[in-house]
Amino acid sequence: MKRSYKLVYLFVFLAFHGLVIAQSKEYRIYIYDTIEGMVLKIDNNSLSVKSVNFGKFLLKEPLNYKKQSFEKENNLINTLLLQSHVDISDGEWKDSVELIDGVLVKIRFLYAKKDTLDQEKPKQETLLYRLDIQKHIVKEGVDDINPINLALIESSVRKIWIDEDGRSIVKLSLMYNGILYTIKQK
């Protein structure tokens, strides 16, 4: 009997360990909030973006970033795409937040309004925030010009919808080079 308990504990430990250590999520990126254009896959140490459908006109080759450290708490990619619960300090600048390849930026979330997402079934009550990003420090030997960092830093508008009850991110959008990109979990 004790042996079966040990096996159950081992199984529970391994399952939990796998969920925490090897988080992996997949998102759809929509163009103008309606046309599916890309698929984004992320785990704790890699991110890839592949074009589909109309997105092939915008992204000719897949983007792959390996050997990253998205599991760090001060990583913006982790905050936006991997965490199931997001803590936001409204209006407060946060220094030294990492992007891809260790590029450091300053960020702040600004509360805009309560918003109802009608496209979701059932309708979802969310809190809408604007995300401000300022380029802060580029580590020597680091490429800050990769397409994802560039899109995050140079976007004219970055919006984040957070579930009012669960505090998880429901939807992200950014306006880059005149095109609205919306990221939703698959």
Q: What is the pLDDT of residue 168?
A: 86
Q: List residues bridging with 174 in a β-sheet.
A: 158, 181
Q: What is the pLDDT of residue 31?
A: 92
Angle at 40 between CA 34 and CA 45, to 5 degrees: 160
Which of 160, 185, 182, 186 is CA-nearest to residue 55?
A: 182
Q: Which domains does the chain have, with CATH numbers?
A: 23-185 (2.40.360)
Q: What is the pLDDT of residue 144?
A: 60
Pair 157, 130: CB distance under 8 Å:
yes
Q: What is the pLDDT of residue 142?
A: 63
Q: pLDDT by residue for the chain (186 residues), tens digit each?
A: 455 444 444 344 444 444 444 468 899 999 998 999 999 998 888 889 998 988 888 888 898 888 887 777 788 888 888 887 888 889 999 988 888 888 889 999 999 999 988 776 678 899 999 999 988 666 666 656 788 888 888 898 999 999 988 888 899 999 999 999 999 987
- Residue 118: phi, psi to the nearest 5? -75, -25
Residues 89-105, buried b or exposed e (16+ Cβ, 10 A)?
eeeeeeeebbbbbbbbb
Pair 88, 109: CB distance under 8 Å:
yes
> Is pTM, for the whole model, over 0.85?
no
Distance CA 14, CA 7 (A): 10
Q: What is the pLDDT of residue 7?
A: 41
- Number of other CB atoms surrounding residue 49 within 10 Å: 21
